[in-house]
Amino acid sequence: MQYTHLGRSGLSVSRLCLGTMNFGPQTEEAAAHSIMDSAHDAGINFFDTANVYGGVEHRGWTEEIIGRWFAKGGERREKTVLATKLYGTMTDRPNESKLSALNIRRALDASLKRLQTDYIDIYQFHHIDRNTPWDEIWQAIEVAVQQGKILYSGSSNFAGWHIAQAQAAAARRNYTGLVSEQSIYNLLTRSVELEVIPAAQEFGLGLIPWSPLHGGLLGGVLRKEREGVRRTEGRAAETLKTHREQIEQYEDFAAELGHEPGDVGLAWLLHQPAVTAPIVGPRTQEQLDAALRALDVRLDEDALKRLDAIFPGHRTAPEDYAW
């Protein structure tokens, strides 16, 4: 396994992050525990979750599954860099969502209880809170740090100017601020290259891409359709219809390289200088094994240029739109 620092922090994390959103709703607990053990065996020390994961009827379920896994001992907690999130609505009561000082305090304590741990390594804001001032947010986070309940803070789904706003407020308080940003980022969805990635690099945030294969559309979807092992429906079907020619070129190029399409898609992210660790969210052991293959894929300059030609990005960002 390869490791790197998370942004400008001194924290070392694996180049793949284990996403746990499927644990509970899609993956039963015993299988989830086995996947987490296998991730440790492969050297993955970076796990990501959120307080709302588990589905509408059982928010917090995923954290509970991870907590019972930690409770098995064997230094499972000590070997894990644990990231969770808050923002989403947990109940229908007021103050049970977003980033008020009250919800930060309550949500953090609830996550700690479900996760059966006394601290969280990276506590992440799942979304920007447009109604809570940053001084209130940072004051609550500073208290949690002083209490030893969290070590670092991260953001998710922030715009570039949100990152700048957060870091400016933190600097006024002589506080570290954010060390990471989670955004959707893959060959099909590259809008974060415009301003989010430049902001993350300027302020020293590590980028943690979610949906690195765009819901499976970069994982060999056309071949799977031909083989009858996958049927694309809903929004994914619309996206596939719009980008079918690009995806055909992409799958053909992956075959030329001698790799699976999903391996190439993950490897491309690992070759991007702003990226710390893509989040892989396996439902099964086989999917975890497939994600690990990407660590051995090397893309030379010609291959990266070919992928840029198939899926054009924003190489002149953040002045992409300027004359």
Q: What is the pLDDT of residues 65-81, one digit of tens each?
A: 999 999 999 999 999 99
Query: The tokens of 74 are what?
Result: 């064997």
Please say if the pLDDT value at position 322 is more than 90: no
Please say if the pLDDT value at position 232 is more than 80: no
List 3, 53, 175, 250, catalytic entry: 53
Q: Could you tell me the pLDDT band of residue 59, with boundaries at 50, 70 and 90?
A: very high
Q: What is the pLDDT of residues 142-175, one digit of tens each?
A: 999 999 999 999 999 999 999 999 999 999 999 9
Query: What does the pLDDT average to over 44-69?
Result: 97
Please determine, looking at this structure, whether the domain spanning 3-216+262-300 carries the CATH number 3.20.20.100. yes
User: Residue 323: its pLDDT value, please?
Assistant: 61
Residue 208, beta-bridge partner list? 182
Q: Which helix (H) or strand (E) holds 224?
A: helix 221-226
Residue 145: count other Cβ atoms within 10 Å of its Cβ: 17
Q: What is the pLDDT of residues 141-151, one digit of tens each?
A: 999 999 999 99
Contact yes or no for 39/285 (Cβ under 8 A): no
Residues 99 and 197: their CA atoms lie apart, in Å, by 23
Q: Is 43 exposed, middle or buried (0-12, 13-18, 19+ CB in 10 A)?
A: middle
Q: Kindly give the pairing relationship between strand 12-14 and strand 3-5.
A: antiparallel
Contact yes or no for 185/209 (Cβ under 8 A): yes
Name the 3-class secondary structure at 180: strand
Please say if the pLDDT value at position 320 is more than 90: no
User: Residue 77: its pLDDT value, please?
Assistant: 98
Query: What does the pLDDT average to over 9-30?
Result: 98
Residues 130 and 46: their CA atoms lie apart, in Å, by 29
Residue 250: count other Cβ atoms within 10 Å of its Cβ: 24
Half-sphere exposure of 58 (CA within 13 A, CB side): 13
Q: What is the pLDDT of residues 292-315, one digit of tens each?
A: 999 999 999 999 999 999 999 998
Q: What is the pLDDT of residues 116-127, one digit of tens each?
A: 999 999 999 999
Mean residue pLDDT of the chain comes to 96
In the chain, % of residues over pLDDT 90: 90
Contact yes or no for 238/170 (Cβ under 8 A): no
Nearest residue to 61 (alpha-carbon basis) of 27, 11, 37: 27
Is 321 among the catalytic positions?
no
In the chain, % of residues over pLDDT 70: 99
Q: State if pTM tops 0.85.
A: yes
